[in-house]
Chains A and B, each alone.
Chain A
Amino acid sequence: MASSLGAQAHAHGYGQAQAHGYGDARSARFFRNAGDLSPSSCRFRAAMATASASILASPAIPRSKPAASQISRLQTQLRKKEISAVEIVTEYLDRLREKEPDVKSFLHISSSALDEAAEIDGRLARGDDPGPLAGIPIAIKDNLCTQGMPSTGGSRILDGYRPPYDATAVKRLKESGAVLIGKTNLDEFGMGSSTESSAYQVTSNPWDLSRVPGGSSGGSAAAVAAGQCACALGSDTGGSIRQPASFCGVVGLKPTYGRVSRFGLMAYASSLDVVGCLGTSVDDVSLLLNAIAGHDPADATSSSKVVPNYLKALVPAKELPGNPLAGMKFGIIKETIGEGVEPAVAQVVKNAVVHLEKLGAVVQEVSLPTFSLGLPAYYVLAASEASSNLSRYDGIRYGPRVVADELNAMYGASRGQGFGAEVKRRILMGTYALSAGYYDAFYKRAQQVRTLIQQDFKKALEDGHILLSPVAPSPAFKIGEKVLDPLSMYLGDLMTVNVNMAGLPALSLPCGLIEDEGSKLPVGLQLIGNAFEEEELLRVGHIFEQTVPTW
């Protein structure tokens, strides 16, 4: 088992994983901790040493010049017939397969991507417009349902499950001409911050293969960082897009709750879940948001507010005035730059603040008194909703079923074998919190805290146009480092969960590198805006990205 889960190349992680029986959580953990001692880990280390260099040289990582839009460049070339969709997809598929043995970001690689690309080429040849994302290879987090590909949510309980429908966000990408290149790894059902809770494989951070990519959208972030796709969809319940974006040095956008339909997103915590975008530039993230945002009659919580053209807000670097942020007020959240944050991270964020000031902005410290209440309240609410949302995985209509003598035993055995340790932990916590006699003390109180957090943000956003904080208190940590300590893993979500509690949009932007044990690791800056003001976040993020000193 260790060898197949180890560093050996397997392009079809999915098929490989299916070949195993149910993994015992302890043995999986054993592998992660003891991995350095196993024979396969020698190859793993060797791969790390060489792969690190090659991956960092990838054109997908903005290092020596400001991030440029891959999508815009490819669209221009495609329309000028300098390149075909098949060539674009071939290039990405080649890189995907080349990097996959090291990064292991994909659970499934599309077998029809080239056919779809050929179809796009055919439409272009006929003079059709296949859409603004024509021929762009996009990776999809595996908790989003895709009709043509398996969708497991990273869980054994959906092993082999093929949905009969596309998630709305996925459908909209297809309608925009995108080519879905594969399904990316994640923490099981989005529950985790390192992608180590996937039932199938451990994804590595392309910046340092011994480290986690973050999570739960770790597969999507790593795939974008490694150039395995042009951009990717993720989902964010408590930081699951922003934190891996920060760890992998890519741009991640968590839209306002309700901006993007959740239909087809496997629910973790319905009142917090948002589908969002990961890319190498603000341009690309804006293009992606253009495609997926908007009201969906199939999601009662999706907003019918008009969707602007997010690209229109972006001003090219050479057209920017001298002080492009003059007159803008920012607030840096005091509670996020003090205790509990690694000094090096705080320093990079402070440098970013200085840069914003150079661009003409006024940056003030603001305090959100309820900030520290967010994390425990989040874990009560998210676990409560999860305990309910995951009830449908009962082995009856889909997914593996364990034969038993009666119904309850069948439930117990199917769910016992189908769910991993972290998911079980959250189901238990949530079931407890919703139980008669505990509801008021936990769920109801957490909802009250949520209201306070919303009020605090509202007040803070009245004073400042945009709030700032680090995305995470640390850079990417080592694989296995926090697996045995769930609480320390939860603490890493400190900076991000409150944004979900308030339903606000937030952008995670690479803002610098720090050195940690010989590795250069990216750090992300979080920009938090008013509800439905993604446009403003993207505009400011784009200015920042175009003007920030290169690394």
Chain B
Amino acid sequence: MAVGSCESIVLLYSQPRIPRSALQIRCSSSLASKQASSSSKIPSALQDFEAVIGVETHVQLGTATKAFCGCLSQYGAQPNSNVCPVCMGLPGALPVLNERVVDFAVKLGLALNCDLSLRSKFDRKQYFYADLPKGYQISQFDIPIARHGSIEVDLPVEYGGGHRKFGITRVHIEEDAGKLVHAGGGGRLSGSPYSLVTFFFSSCCFSLLVFVDLNRAGVPLLEIVSEPDMRTGIEAAEYAAEVARVVKCLGIGSGSMAEGSLRCDVNVSVRPRGQAAFGTKVEIKNMNSCAAMHRAIDFEILRQVALHKEGLESKIVQETRLWEEGSQRTVTMRAKEGLADYRYFPEPDLLELVLKQEQVDSINEALPELPNETRRRYEALGLSMQDVLVLADDKSVSEYFDSTLEQGADMKMAANWIMGDITAYLKTEKLSISDVKISPSVLAELVSLIKDGTISGKIGKEISDEAEIASLVDKVLLENPKQLEAFKKGKTKLQGFFEGQVMRSTNGRVNPILMKKVVAQKLGLS
């Protein structure tokens, strides 16, 4: 059925091309236009002004199927292959809630210290857009599944460090929309899966073809709304990073801003210090990393502060601005024409969402140690904040560290090994720590051997320099002239003897493959 219905939805409508220049409204301020090193200007800009920042985060959940139908919720499939009457919004189709979504929402709600609503409901948020098949998004309006929570972060040491606690206003369940793919030039997509389209419209020469891919329509999302508690770009970026860590730690999603499975929209306003009322807020979208968030917010703060300083604060309008990674600036996307009226009303196709206390309790008991808890534990162990932040950044790393400690390794030494050589190795080999062949127990043994002086720290490391190996082999051959003579007379089995001697001379630290190669070379075998 999915295939049969594909053609009916990959559609086209025409849309006038908007001149690029119309989208880019240049920032009038001289200060802000020199944004190259905006971060360094932040402290002085914020002497007289204060920025107020809130973040709305959409977390795509890693459920096997979509929120309200049985379609696969996966990335990278053929356009419109993971679709059915429900997520295509066909006449007569009805949503049925995926219970896994509720479990994931409860997990996140608990992890963010929220009050859970034992009774919540779904509502329809109504607007027309080509990627929204039903003409409404199923969401939660006045009774979200979780609210009144908080999240704690530790700012990077290089930005001055510091512990912060930010309020979480609410977490609610909703569904994602589809994706529009704009194709100009009448055939850029030919050859791609979109080319299964058999007809198209284009009303004038300035029109664009627009394709709709509904694979993403109905994929479950959790929207997290923060309190406007952040004051700088780095705080907001760290907030987003912490949300991503929590999502990954809970195993409810991939939490990747780069892949778009975690998307942050940021509201930024600026006010003179001491003023109670908020300034006009501007929404920023299109940031695909925490670093981009940091830069985008600092750029926007400087832009707004500059307008304030020039007495042009009326030029700060409520609008949505896009972060342009290429030019490192925010540009106007659309000005809000008053408040959009989404005509929310209770979704009549779904029952009230009722949580049982036992269900919540059992999810709560099974929660893993959260990133902030890990950091506090490491801090209590006496690790420096710099080390804490590195070791607790990724759950697989902290788990590796923890098991190494469990094997009795010295904490500081194990930390250094993991943050130093192992991390460097992982980086160059593009591996994750779970791929490393040195198990935590081996590392623990190594660390204790080094610690009690059996081997030195340097010895602990493998010899893989070919020249160094060559001199080692030479030395072994020199020290064993009888065996070398016998070898030359045809006792080729002695090759293994020489290899063993080299290995022994290094306490087994030599890279065996390289060493065997060098031995063979020296014996004139290769």
Q: Is B196 an interface residue (CB 8 A)?
A: no
Q: Is A265 an interface residue (CB 8 A)?
A: yes
Name the residue of chain A whose CB is nearest to the CB of B210. Answer: A407
Interface contact A396-B15, CB-CB below 8 Å: no
Q: Is A164 an interface residue (CB 8 A)?
A: yes
Instruction: Evaluate whether A388 and B13 lie within 8 angstroms (CB atoms) in the complex, with A153-B91, A297-B96, A398-B90 already known.
Output: no
Q: Is A378 an interface residue (CB 8 A)?
A: no
Q: Is A30 an interface residue (CB 8 A)?
A: no
Interface contact A398-B92, CB-CB below 8 Å: no
Name the residue of chain B whose CB is nearest to the CB of A411. Answer: B128
Whole-angstrom distance between the alpha carbons of A410 and B12 in the complex?
Answer: 11
Interface contact A443-B1, CB-CB below 8 Å: no
Most buried by B among A266, A300, A393: A300
Q: Is B275 an interface residue (CB 8 A)?
A: no
Whole-angstrom distance between the alpha carbons of A301 and B97 in the complex?
Answer: 11
Q: Is B25 an interface residue (CB 8 A)?
A: no
Interface contact A163-B90, CB-CB below 8 Å: yes
Interface contact A404-B92, CB-CB below 8 Å: no
Most buried by A among B85, B95, B135: B135
Interface contact B345-A434, CB-CB below 8 Å: yes
Smallest beta-carbon distance A158→chain B, Å: 7
Name the residue of chain B whose CB is nearest to the CB of A391. Answer: B135
Chain B residues lying within 8 Å of A443, measured Cβ to Cβ, are 345
Contact with A along B4-15 (1 / 0, CB 8 A): 110011010111
Contact with B along A405-437 (1 / 0, CB 8 A): 111101100000000000000000001001110
Whole-angstrom distance between the alpha carbons of A393 and B11 in the complex?
Answer: 14
Smallest beta-carbon distance A377→chain B, Å: 15
Smallest beta-carbon distance B3→chain A, Å: 10
Give residues 316-362 of B contacting A (CB, 8 Å).
339, 341, 343-345, 348-351
Most buried by B among A158, A392, A439: A392
Q: Is A385 an interface residue (CB 8 A)?
A: yes
Interface contact B90-A434, CB-CB below 8 Å: no
Whole-angstrom distance between the alpha carbons of A434 and B13 in the complex?
Answer: 29
Q: Is B417 an interface residue (CB 8 A)?
A: no
Secondary structure at chain B's binding surface: helix, strand, loop or mixed? loop
Interface contact A396-B91, CB-CB below 8 Å: no
> How many A-B pairs with Cβ below 8 Å?
140
Name the residue of chain B whose CB is nearest to the CB of A166. Answer: B92
Interface contact A144-B345, CB-CB below 8 Å: no
Whole-angstrom distance between the alpha carbons of A269 and B135 in the complex?
Answer: 15
Q: Is B422 an interface residue (CB 8 A)?
A: no
Name the one of A164, A411, A436 contacting B4, with C-beta atoms under 8 angstroms: A164
Interface contact A435-B8, CB-CB below 8 Å: no
Instruction: Evaluate whether A435 and B343 lie within 8 angstroms (CB atoms) in the complex, with A396-B130, A403-B201 already known.
Output: yes
Interface contact B13-A300, CB-CB below 8 Å: no
Whole-angstrom distance between the alpha carbons of A167 and B203 in the complex?
Answer: 37
Interface contact B203-A405, CB-CB below 8 Å: yes
Whole-angstrom distance between the alpha carbons of A193 and B344 in the complex?
Answer: 29
Smallest beta-carbon distance B38→chain A, Å: 36
Whole-angstrom distance between the alpha carbons of A151 and B91 in the complex?
Answer: 9
Name the one of B1, B13, B95 contacting A165, with C-beta atoms under 8 angstroms: B1
Chain B residues lying within 8 Å of A404, measured Cβ to Cβ, are 13-14, 203
Name the residue of chain A whose CB is nearest to the CB of B4. Answer: A164
Give residues 89-103 of B contacting A (CB, 8 Å).
89-97
Whole-angstrom distance between the alpha carbons of A298 and B349 in the complex?
Answer: 11
Interface contact B89-A397, CB-CB below 8 Å: yes
Contact with B along A23-63 (1 / 0, CB 8 A): 00000000000000000000000000000000000000000
Chain B residues lying within 8 Å of A301, measured Cβ to Cβ, are 94, 348-351
Chain B residues lying within 8 Å of A392, measured Cβ to Cβ, are 89-91, 133-135
Whole-angstrom distance between the alpha carbons of A153 and B90 in the complex?
Answer: 13
Q: Is A401 an interface residue (CB 8 A)?
A: yes
Interface contact A164-B90, CB-CB below 8 Å: yes
Smallest beta-carbon distance A388→chain B, Å: 6
Interface contact B91-A397, CB-CB below 8 Å: no
Interface contact B90-A298, CB-CB below 8 Å: no
Chain B residues lying within 8 Å of A144, measured Cβ to Cβ, are 92
Contact with B along A154-173 (1 / 0, CB 8 A): 00001001011101000000
Chain B residues lying within 8 Å of A163, measured Cβ to Cβ, are 85, 90-92
Give residues 43-91 of A contacting B (CB, 8 Å).
none
Interface contact B349-A300, CB-CB below 8 Å: yes
Chain B residues lying within 8 Å of A263, measured Cβ to Cβ, are 92-94
Give residues 154-198 of A contacting B (CB, 8 Å).
158, 161, 163-165, 167
Q: Is B204 an interface residue (CB 8 A)?
A: yes
Q: Is B209 an interface residue (CB 8 A)?
A: no
Q: Is B107 an interface residue (CB 8 A)?
A: no
Q: Is B126 an interface residue (CB 8 A)?
A: yes
Name the one of B94, B201, B344 contacting A298, with C-beta atoms under 8 angstroms: B94
Contact with B along A268-290 (1 / 0, CB 8 A): 01110000000000000000000
Name the residue of chain B whose CB is nearest to the CB of A397. Answer: B9
Chain A residues lying within 8 Å of B13, measured Cβ to Cβ, are 396, 401, 403-404, 407, 410
Q: Is A99 an interface residue (CB 8 A)?
A: no
Q: Is B388 an interface residue (CB 8 A)?
A: no
Chain A residues lying within 8 Å of B14, measured Cβ to Cβ, are 403-406, 410
Chain B residues lying within 8 Å of A387, measured Cβ to Cβ, are 343
Interface contact B16-A266, CB-CB below 8 Å: no
Whole-angstrom distance between the alpha carbons of A76 and B204 in the complex?
Answer: 66
Name the residue of chain B whose CB is nearest to the CB of A158. Answer: B91
Q: Is A262 an interface residue (CB 8 A)?
A: yes
Q: Is A394 an interface residue (CB 8 A)?
A: yes
Whole-angstrom distance between the alpha carbons of A262 and B91 in the complex?
Answer: 11
Chain A residues lying within 8 Å of B343, measured Cβ to Cβ, are 387-388, 431, 434-436, 439
Most buried by A among B85, B97, B201, B348: B348
Smallest beta-carbon distance A294→chain B, Å: 16
Chain B residues lying within 8 Å of A113, measured Cβ to Cβ, are none
Interface contact A388-B126, CB-CB below 8 Å: yes
Instruction: Evaluate whether A396 and B94 lie within 8 angstroms (CB atoms) in the complex, with A300-B350, A385-B348 already known.
Output: no
Smallest beta-carbon distance A301→chain B, Å: 7
Smallest beta-carbon distance B423→chain A, Å: 49
Contact with A along B348-381 (1 / 0, CB 8 A): 1111000000000000000000000000000000
Interface contact A407-B4, CB-CB below 8 Å: no
Interface contact B351-A300, CB-CB below 8 Å: yes
Q: Is B124 an interface residue (CB 8 A)?
A: yes
Smallest beta-carbon distance B65→chain A, Å: 13
Interface contact B94-A300, CB-CB below 8 Å: yes
Chain A residues lying within 8 Å of B128, measured Cβ to Cβ, are 391, 394, 407-408, 411
Q: Is A299 an interface residue (CB 8 A)?
A: yes
Name the one of B5, B15, B344 contacting A407, with C-beta atoms under 8 angstroms: B15
Q: Is A375 an interface residue (CB 8 A)?
A: no
Contacts A153-B91, A300-B96, A443-B345 known; 13 new A-B pairs at CB < 8 A: A164-B85, A271-B348, A299-B96, A388-B124, A388-B135, A391-B134, A393-B91, A396-B11, A398-B90, A405-B14, A407-B129, A434-B344, A434-B345
- 10 A–B pairs (Cβ distance < 8 Å), ordered by A: A145-B90, A263-B94, A301-B350, A391-B128, A393-B91, A396-B11, A397-B9, A404-B203, A405-B14, A436-B341
